[in-house]
Amino acid sequence: MRTEHRLEAVGPAERVLDRAATAVAHPNIALIKYWGKRDERLMIPYVDSLSMTLDIFPTTTTVRLCPDAAADSVTLDGAPARGEVGQRVVAFLDLVRQLAGRTEPATVDTRNAVPTGAGLASSASGFAALALAAAAAYGLDLDPTALSRLARRGSVSAARSIFGDFAICHAGGGTGAEADLASYAEPVPVPDFDPALVIAVVNAGPKAVSSRGGMRRTVETSPLYAAWATSSKADLTEMRAALARSDLDAVGEIAERNALGMHATMLAARPAVRYMSPPTVAVLDAVLRLRADGVPAYATMDAGPNVKVLCHPADAERVAATLGAAAPGSSVVTARRGPAARLWTEAER
């Protein structure tokens, strides 16, 4: 089959050639967290978020148009995607088709480089790669800002994975189409800051509460949510200043308090949403001990029990050994800042 990977298809005659495309995207870890949507259909977050894209665990996704097929077909690491995952991908393809004025079904083949069961499979890298590949395959000519908006419709954190290094996702304002336009990601240029992020995978199993369900319950029932959302605005302002001066201690302190505050809002939800487990707390204690010993190390956690620790690259080995010892049975991997999402080149096909 003829394949074509150009995003910049210029006219209808060329667009018919845009039959398949492959994109690669990396996960990101938020230093200022997104938690909670003010519009679930349009996927508009309540708060701005700011993240570091990682150089590990890419997702590679191929979207191939199949005009003769009866329906879309979605595979994840070679197996048919079941349940909610498959439904979210098909709903996303419906959106891309609507924007492109096309109707053909597609096959979607997604591969995660995450070691099987590492508990870090990411909807951020997944929907960033899918947005880029699907836009190219269906001949949608989108700039990175528009691609981030599109990726946001799959998963809010995916908007940030369109970009490499550090990126902010704006919550924006307004309602309907105006809100959709106003919520997008963009790079935060920080040329001189290249920390290590040591990830302690304390539990590779699936989480009990999805982030989608967890954040809905938090927004609806947690009396602490509004206070965290307000304090997160101040955290973001301070974070941008700390990044601009490449101040690891300030970046780490702000990221840690922002994440712990987010988890506090969840714990106050009714019933509580708790992602931390005993090994999580053991790793958080190890981070405090490292700091007491003079090693700058700061923790952040997402919708799961695993802990990500920001530190100087020169300290990463010691930090990794300390975290591993604190949670026996865990695996530890170190990431650095990583690249933007991109389409495969001719040579990579």
Query: Which spans of this chain sit near ligand 2P0 (rule: CB under 6 A)?
Result: 30, 33-35, 43, 49, 123, 155-157, 211-212, 302-303
Q: CA dist 169 to 52, 87, 106, 320, Å?
A: 12, 25, 29, 29
For the bound state, the minimum distance from the C-beta of residue 3 to ligand 2P0, rounded and expressed in Å, comes to 29
For the bound state, the minimum distance from the C-beta of residue 275 to ligand 2P0, rounded and expressed in Å, comes to 9
For the bound state, the minimum distance from the C-beta of residue 314 to ligand 2P0, rounded and expressed in Å, comes to 27
For the bound state, the minimum distance from the C-beta of residue 123 to ligand 2P0, rounded and expressed in Å, comes to 4
Of 32 and 135, the one with the shorter C-beta distance to ligand 2P0 is 32
For the bound state, the minimum distance from the C-beta of residue 120 to ligand 2P0, rounded and expressed in Å, comes to 12
Of 179 and 295, the one with the shorter C-beta distance to ligand 2P0 is 179
Of 9 and 108, the one with the shorter C-beta distance to ligand 2P0 is 108
Of 73 and 300, the one with the shorter C-beta distance to ligand 2P0 is 300
For the bound state, the minimum distance from the C-beta of residue 235 to ligand 2P0, rounded and expressed in Å, comes to 12
Residue (of 7, 60, 59) closest to 28 by Cα position: 59
Of 125 and 322, the one with the shorter C-beta distance to ligand 2P0 is 125
Of 49 and 62, the one with the shorter C-beta distance to ligand 2P0 is 49
